[in-house]
Amino acid sequence: MDIRIGNGYDVHALATGLPMWLGGVQIPSENGFVAHSDGDVAIHALCDALLGCLALGDIGHLFPDTDPKWKGVDSKLLLREVVDLIHTKGYKVGNVDITIALQRPKLAPHIGTMRQTLAPILGVTHDRVSIKATTTEKLGFVGRQEGCEVWASALILKD
């Protein structure tokens, strides 16, 4: 059996008055992420995990932030492109696991919607999409509400 694993990590800074997109879902918040794209830091970490499975580089390489094509782009489109790439290499997604560190707002009410949103893009059922959220107990840049940190793991299988 040919299985591959990958991990991804991303950080985005928070600023007032910007929309907050996380896991493909808009979260009601007075703060949002500073970014060239929509700033969905969870999807970015997930894309890097998937790309890592096949040593395909990272999303900065695939979708450079110097390219106006990706300005304000819905990160779900980037994830779709990455999944397509995995498929063209003859693999399918097995499961993914994402951990989001954010001080506030509380993400628990949105986790289910995120899983339901990402699963069809990944081509899996939502029970193969794990999303966990934690605060950092007010410690560090996450705790000071300066930014959000996300770790993602992915497993893919030869189709």
Q: Which residues bind Mg ion (CB under 5 A)?
A: 10, 44
Least CB distance to Mg ion at residue 142 (A): 15
Element (H, E) at 117: helix 111-122
User: What Cα–Cα distance (Å) separates residue 111 from each residue in 7, 28, 53, 79, 102?
Assistant: 20, 13, 24, 18, 13
Q: Which is nearer to Mg ion, 37 or 91 (by Cβ)?
A: 37
Query: What is the nearest approach in angstroms of Mg ion to the Cβ of residue 38?
Result: 10
- Closest approach of Mg ion to the CB of residue 113, in Å: 21
Cβ proximity to Mg ion: between 31 and 91 the closer is: 31
Minimum CB–partner distance for residue 44 and Mg ion (Å): 4
**Nearer of residues 91 and 114 to Mg ion, judged by Cβ:** 114
Output 91 or 101, the one with its CB closest to Mg ion.
101
The residue sitting closest to Mg ion, measured at its beta carbon, is: 44
Separation of alpha carbons 39 and 20, rounded Å: 8
N-terminal to C-terminal alpha carbon distance within the chain: 10
Q: Outline where DSSP puts E strands in the chain.
A: 3-16, 20-22, 25-27, 31-33, 91-101, 129-134, 147-158
